[in-house]
Amino acid sequence: MTIRAEHDPRYFRRFLYIAIGCIAFSLWFFYDGLIGYPAELERSEVYWTPVDEPGRKYEPMEREEWRAVVKENGWPTAAPRPPDKVKNAIQGQFFYGSFCAIIAIPCLLKWWLARGSWVEGTETEVKTSWRPGFAYKDITSIDKTKWGNKGITRIYYEDAGQTRKFAFDDFKFERKKMGEILELIEQSLQDDQIEGGERQSVLRERREAEKAASVESQDESEASAAG
């Protein structure tokens, strides 16, 4: 018996959306840093004249003179910021653009590398598409503390004399299939090897009993209403 759980595109797609958003912001920041703000700096250096006075760094151009310059060059009429502020803003755009790109790259890689990934359970071992598998007989314990709330079970197993850990996550892969693989694994384990939760078979039987009771109750209600 072999059960394969494919990756859940809905989980990994969020990393793609984050990457797209960060790339869009990064391009926006770089555009301002390379084109938008340098154009403002050009206007600023014309509008503002450096002065050597206490408490003052620049002297603005006379209004009528500025209007003539604006008309001649086809510039916006609004007065630009002082040159030092524009230069600081340009540096800020490169910083923010780089920051967004740094976030986008790992998110994009996470989405890309997850494509086609899977977890597979056979009668004797767990296999994955990205790392060596491990045999059920090598499992020392599993921790299901976070299985109920977060869908994560930590599997501990021996490999070449070392204890290794495998995170069994049903948010990243098909949830129903991951539950079936976990139940398959637990068939090879003793009760004291399963920590922090009940066996999948117990949980499954309970859900089926609750579902059957719910259906029976609904049937009785409908029959009562019809009578």
Residue 28 half-sphere exposure toward CB, CA atoms < 13 A: 8
Is residue 148 within 8 A of residue 197, CB to CB? The reply is yes
The bridge status of strand 139-143 relative to strand 56-60 is unpaired
The partner residues of 7 in beta bridges, in order of sequence, read: 173
- Going by pLDDT thresholds of 50, 70 and 90, the confidence category of residue 220 is low
Tens of pLDDT, residue by residue over 30-62, are 999 999 999 999 999 999 999 988 888 999 999
Return the structure tokens found at 37. 């703000």
Give the pLDDT score at 70: 95
- Going by pLDDT thresholds of 50, 70 and 90, the confidence category of residue 98 is very high
Tens of pLDDT, residue by residue over 154-182, are 999 999 889 999 999 988 999 999 999 99
Contacts of 204 (CB under 8 A, 6+ apart): 179, 183
DSSP 3-state of 187: coil
In the numeric block, the tokens 């109750």 are attached to: 217
Q: Identify which of 43, 119, 39, 122 has the alpha carbon closest to the alpha carbon of residue 78.
A: 43
